[in-house]
Amino acid sequence: MTAMILGMALVATSCTDPATSDLPDPTASDSAIPEVSDTAASPSAIDDAVGSVAATLELRLDSPTHQGDASSSAPINDVTVDAAHQVATAASNGVVGLYELSGSLPTSVSLVHPEGHVDAVAFDPNGGRLATGIAERREATAFDDTVSFWDVANAERLIQVGGDAEAVAGCSFFRNIVEWSHDGTFVTSTSHDFTVSMIDPDTGGTLHTFAPHSNTVLDTAISPDDRLLVTSGDDSTMRVWDLQSKDLIAEHQVTMGGYWSMVFMPDGASLVVSDLVGNVSVVDAVSGVTTMTFDGLKQRRSAIAISPDGRLVAAGAADSVVRLWSSETGSMLGDLVGHDGPVNAAAFFNDGDRLVSGSQDGTAIVWRYSAT
């Protein structure tokens, strides 16, 4: 990847999508799950043997448009929240929405990416910056995989990395995943050449590129202490890397098609993962052993998020619902119903009582919940 430093705001990468392949159809659970709907007059309690969650739909945000864009509901591919409770959404029309929710009415700013489809957004944990990842197809096996760094306060794009869009044999679909280290010193980014790189967010320089998977990288996860990087590939492998030595610690064969989404538990010893059929499980980070499989409905492409205290797991699914589980027992606590299309992303606020989800229907929903 090559880096370009930009002085003004402008701008923000992936290969056939496994979600459209001949996977088993999602199957319904044999037990009914209570729903939380945006039409409810008051919070609905969702009781379970392990605890309960009460939740309401607090706010619906439409995906932003830009001049000349006829779309009024571009699918939202990713969502993220910063420490100041600002929400960012990544949309397929090339626009990132920044939403300030601290006032009585939400305000928004659009960050336009002329390159097209924005796959991912991630806030700098130290504040002030946002990383974005493009995944725009240019040819049959070529994708624009630009990564950009933005000054949030000024809506200004500072650095642009990559975007060469060279053809890569075997690359039929691509997900551009960007993730900040917890200390804010580097960002990991996937490339359509099946590699994952560490990028210096101050210069755009490449700090290290890890050996490629044999097919598209589906997701990455950085441990809470920034010691481990886990990568999941469409080649059905999960790799564990030492971020200090850059050595490969372990490689595991996992479920067919690999893990679509992964997030570390707060203890750093295990991850919550979802596969392409929608199974949600806990796996040991180093051994790769599955230690728990969560209850409930199976839906393709579950997007995983975990609450700051580690007690709740949320997964958005293809049936337009966000599901909540107890991370301790794997028991389902309930459904959040409000979207009209597959839920592509979810993220918890650090205040411990809100969650945002982003959907193919072109909206992001902020949910307020309490868990006991």
pLDDT above 80 for 15: no
DSSP lists the bridge partners of residue 232 as 219, 238
- Residue 22 in domain: no
Residue pair 178/12 in contact by the 8 Å Cβ criterion: no
Per-residue confidence (pLDDT) for residue 246, from 0 to 100: 98
Average pLDDT score, the chain: 84
Can you tell me the distance from the alpha carbon of 147 to that of 14, in angstroms, rounded to the nearest whole number? 12
For the cut 70, the answer to whether the pLDDT of residue 86 exceeds it is yes
pLDDT of 285 strictly over 90: yes
Two tokens, residue 40: 């409810």
**Residue 357 CB partners (closer than 8 Å, separation 6+):** 79, 314, 316, 322, 336, 339, 343, 345, 346, 364, 365, 367
Please name which of 8, 1, 274, 318 lies closest in space to residue 134, comparing C-alpha atoms: 1
Residue 210 within a domain: yes
For the residues 28-52, what does the mean pLDDT come to? Answer: 39
- The tens digit of pLDDT for each residue in 229-267 reads 999 999 999 999 999 999 999 999 999 999 999 999 999
Domain extent for 296: 3-16+43-371
Q: Which of 14, 3, 2 is nearest to 260 (CA)?
A: 14
Report yes or no on 194 lying in a domain.
yes
Residues with Cβ within 8 Å of residue 338, at least 6 apart in sequence: 37, 38, 57, 60, 365, 367
The answer as to whether 279 is a domain residue is yes
> Residue length, the chain?
372
CATH number at residue 130: 2.130.10.10
Best CA proximity match to 155, nearest among 84, 95, 215: 95
Please check whether residue 361 lies inside any domain of the structure: yes
Is there a domain that residue 26 lies in? no
Residue 29 lies in a domain: no
* pLDDT score, position 69: 57
- pLDDT digits over 187-235, tens only? 999 999 999 999 999 999 999 999 999 999 999 999 999 999 999 999 9
Query: What's the domain count of the chain?
Result: 1
pLDDT score, position 299 = 65
Sign of CA dihedral 250, 254, 257, 260: negative
